[in-house]
């Protein structure tokens, strides 16, 4: 089974594709979508949309997973993240791929065993679980892989 994890954002959106075979989990591809800073907001959303559709076309994931939006004191930033999440949901719906949301604490607990783990602990465990030689970069990609790993644990 292939799972596409997305760490939503409108400045940087992380993605990670994993494949599960029994209890073995391997990284297929990961990275970050970074729209051009000179693009207006609708163009940034289109860039994110187009790249996610390309990833879906290339890897044909069976499932998608995304981090839930968290409350922020900066309402404007939270709304923009929500708009970016909407693009991810649109991509999943367009490709008829089921998508599941997970709270950050659930993701951390699934990967590290502690819902309040530090980011560096999550990154190290992603590296270990996937048998990688180094921590996936950028951090958004590592987060997306953690989301996909969390989903793989929950669907077993």
- Would residue 143 show up in a list of annotated catalytic residues for this protein? no
CA angle at residue 21 from 96 to 133, to 5 degrees? 105
| Active-site choice (19, 54, 62, 67) | 67
Residue 62 annotated in active site: no
134 flagged as catalytic? no
Q: Which of 7, 101, 124, 134 is catalytic?
A: 7
Distance CA 14, CA 2 (A): 17
Contact 141, 12 (CB under 8 A): no
Q: Tell me the angle at which helices 75-94 and 41-59 cross, rounded to the nearest 10 degrees.
A: 40
Q: Is the dihedral of CA 106, 110, 112, 114 positive or negative?
A: positive
Q: Of the residues 19, 68, 134, 140, which is catalytic?
A: 140
> 3-state class of 156 per DSSP?
coil
Please give the positions annotated as active site. 7, 67, 140
């Amino acid at each position: 089974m292939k799972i596409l994890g997305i760490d939503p954002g409108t400045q940087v959106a992380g993605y990670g594709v994993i494949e599960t075979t029994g209890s073995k989990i391997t990284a297929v591809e990961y990275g970050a979508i970074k729209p051009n800073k000179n693009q207006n907001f609708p163009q940034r959303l289109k860039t994110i949309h187009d790249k996610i559709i390309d990833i879906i076309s290339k890897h044909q994931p069976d499932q998608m997973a995304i981090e839930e939006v968290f409350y922020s004191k900066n309402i404007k930033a939270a709304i923009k993240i929500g708009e970016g999440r909407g693009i991810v949901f649109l991509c999943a719906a367009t490709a008829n791929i089921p998508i599941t949301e997970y709270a950050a604490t659930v993701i951390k607990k699934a990967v590290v065993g502690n819902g309040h783990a530090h980011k560096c602990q999550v990154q190290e465990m992603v590296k270990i679980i996937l048998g990688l030689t180094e921590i996936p970069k950028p951090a958004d990609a590592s987060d997306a892989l953690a989301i996909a790993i969390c989903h793989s644990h929950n669907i077993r």
